[in-house]
Amino acid sequence: MTKADVVNLVASKTDIEKLHVSKTIEAFMDIIKNSLEKGENVYLRGFGTFEVKKRAEKKARNISKNTTVIVPAHHIPFFKPSDLFTERVKNNNKLN
């Protein structure tokens, strides 16, 4: 599903113009990104948490040059779904 698909679905369910829905979704994503850039987690009850995780420094191999490279410590964005969300996905996507 793409962002355009999400905009279309929200617009059809709420009878709000696509332009307004699109601006709202863009603003929502900007708020999430800006919060994570500041190191602030975003908690959405019943949905999940957008977090910033720290990755420790580690050694990696460049196989083509047969050398060892140090990957410095860094932060990455991470999404942790709520337990309710996880259960719904598990129960609705059982493999046959």
Is residue 96 predicted with pLDDT exceeding 60?
A: no
Structure confidence by residue, pLDDT tens digits, 71-86: 999 999 999 999 999 9
Q: pLDDT band for 95, please (50, 70, 90 cuts).
A: low
Calculate mean pLDDT across residues 84-95: 84
Structure confidence by residue, pLDDT tens digits, 17-76: 999 999 999 999 999 999 999 999 999 999 999 999 999 999 999 889 999 999 999 999
- HEC string of 24-87 equals HHHHHHHHHHHHHHCCCCEEECCCEEEEEEEECCEEEEECCCCEEEEECCEEEEEEEECHHHHH
Is residue 92 predicted with pLDDT exceeding 90?
A: no
Rounded to two decimals, the pTM is: 0.77
